């Protein structure tokens, strides 16, 4: 009887420690890039940036690796491996290669990035994709064993984009990126989702850039939170009030940007953008724990 009381007390104590320190939650989050795009004028992406703030930018193509005890997660898979090492025009539309100026080495691609950290593609349990543009969904075909997490609307969008967003392929939606993955396992969401049921990896619906864009918020073991906006916010200039030039809905885009901004302010979270040159230079290529 006494023994079981001590046991119960110990269990209670462990639960308390667990909830206050984030016990057994995310072990770490790694921020990397699938090469770089640019240089190009910032106004090519954000037309409203005023003259005195205009400059040429070279942007990262952000990807994230999340180590959780219940499974390894990749958030966005970058540009397709086929455009590596100067072969852009063999896979993307030549005009897009000329505009985006993407430079990606074979060693920048997600499978090699995982290898550098000591993982293999086979170990990845979940692939979350923010949206179906070519610089985010490019290598989902490398993960046939994973559960692929999309907003259901984004799958509709990927397979049949609005004409004004560039339906003709190859444009910013590349059918060859998603076609080989058609028979994979999809967790099709219609809203926010708590990935492992412990609130440590939250998928946040952030439409506007595309019909079904989604972002991710992580609760780190240290207790801090980070929000990966991906293309809900390209870069600091968007947060400064200059909206992205490519949107499914400007109204939804603005609501989503504000959602993440106020979440950052209320929770004291760090907010990371998809394509911010300065932020990546200062904070990319490292683990967050």
Positions in the binding site for Zn ion (CB under 5 A): 135, 231
Quote the CA–CA distance of 265 and 261 in Å, as a whole number: 6
- Least separation in angstroms between CB 131 and Zn ion: 8
Quote the CA–CA distance of 225 and 246 in Å, as a whole number: 28
Quote the CA–CA distance of 59 and 33 in Å, as a whole number: 9
Q: Smaller CB distance to Zn ion: residue 135 or 200?
A: 135
Sheet holding 28-41, edge to edge: 185-189, 147-151, 124-128, 71-75, 56-68, 28-41, 286-288
- Least separation in angstroms between CB 191 and Zn ion: 22
Strands (E), 191-261: 193-194, 201-205, 214-219, 225-230
Q: Smaller CB distance to Zn ion: residue 244 or 269?
A: 244
Q: Residue 99 carries which DSSP code?
A: H
- Least separation in angstroms between CB 231 and Zn ion: 4
- Least separation in angstroms between CB 61 and Zn ion: 7
- Least separation in angstroms between CB 13 and Zn ion: 46
Q: Smaller CB distance to Zn ion: residue 25 or 253?
A: 253
Classify 170 in phi/psi space as left (phi over 0), alpha (psi -120 to 50) or beta: beta
- Least separation in angstroms between CB 135 and Zn ion: 4
Q: Smaller CB distance to Zn ion: residue 177 or 231?
A: 231
Q: Smaller CB distance to Zn ion: residue 64 or 219?
A: 64
Centroid of chain to Cα 6: 45
Q: Smaller CB distance to Zn ion: residue 25 or 154?
A: 154
Quote the CA–CA distance of 230 and 273 in Å, as a whole number: 6
Classify 66 in phi/psi space as left (phi over 0), alpha (psi -120 to 50) or beta: beta
């Amino acid at each position: 009887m006494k023994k079981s009381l001590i046991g119960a007390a110990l269990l209670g104590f462990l639960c308390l420690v667990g909830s206050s320190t984030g016990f057994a939650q995310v072990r770490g989050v790694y921020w990397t890039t699938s090469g770089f795009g640019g240089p190009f004028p910032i106004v090519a992406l954000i037309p409203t940036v005023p003259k005195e703030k205009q400059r040429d930018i070279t942007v990262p193509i952000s990807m994230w690796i999340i180590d959780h005890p219940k499974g390894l997660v990749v958030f966005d898979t970058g540009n397709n491996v086929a455009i590596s090492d100067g072969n852009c025009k063999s896979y993307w539309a030549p005009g897009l290669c000329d505009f985006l100026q993407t430079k990606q080495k074979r060693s920048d691609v997600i499978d090699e990035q995982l290898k550098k950290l000591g993982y293999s593609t086979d170990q990845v349990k979940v692939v979350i994709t923010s949206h179906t543009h070519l610089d985010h969904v490019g290598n989902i075909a490398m993960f046939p064993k994973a559960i692929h997490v999309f907003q259901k609307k984004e799958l509709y969008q990927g397979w049949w984009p609005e004409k004004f967003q560039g339906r003709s392929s190859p444009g910013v939606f590349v059918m060859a990126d998603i076609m080989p993955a058609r028979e994979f396992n999809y967790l099709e969401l219609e809203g926010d989702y708590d990935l492992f049921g412990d609130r440590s990896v939250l998928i946040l619906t952030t439409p506007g850039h595309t019909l079904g864009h989604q972002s991710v918020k992580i609760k780190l073991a240290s207790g801090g939170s980070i929000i990966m906006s991906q293309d809900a916010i390209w870069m600091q200039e968007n947060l400064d009030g200059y909206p992205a030039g490519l949107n499914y809905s400007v109204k939804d885009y603005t609501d989503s940007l504000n959602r993440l901004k106020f979440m950052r302010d209320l929770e004291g979270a760090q907010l990371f953008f998809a394509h911010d040159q300065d932020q990546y230079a200062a904070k990319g290529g490292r683990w967050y724990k």
